């Protein structure tokens, strides 16, 4: 290790918490952010992927009711 000049990490979770989050929503062509988020959450709610969970979690956070 004393002579190493590069270290490579190859997967999510090594340096991160593996918990992606939605940071912004952009709606176009007459759609509003709430509608885009609601539709996206409905499409993603049955997938266990971390990005899908991030979309659903943002919708739940925005709704404040515990359901997207």
**Residues involved in catalysis:** 10
Q: Could you tell me how far CA 31 lies from the centroid of its own chain?
A: 20
> CA-CA distances (angstroms) from residue 49 to 16, 18, 38, 54?
16, 11, 18, 9
State the chain's maximal CA–CA distance in angstroms.
Answer: 58
């Amino acid at each position: 290790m004393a002579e190493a000049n590069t270290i490579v990490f190859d997967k999510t979770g090594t340096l991160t918490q593996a918990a992606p989050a939605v940071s912004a929503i952009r709606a176009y062509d007459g759609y509003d952010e709430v509608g885009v988020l609601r539709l996206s959450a409905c499409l993603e709610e049955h997938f266990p992927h971390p990005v899908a969970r991030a979309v659903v979690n943002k919708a739940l956070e925005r709704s404040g009711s515990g359901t997207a």
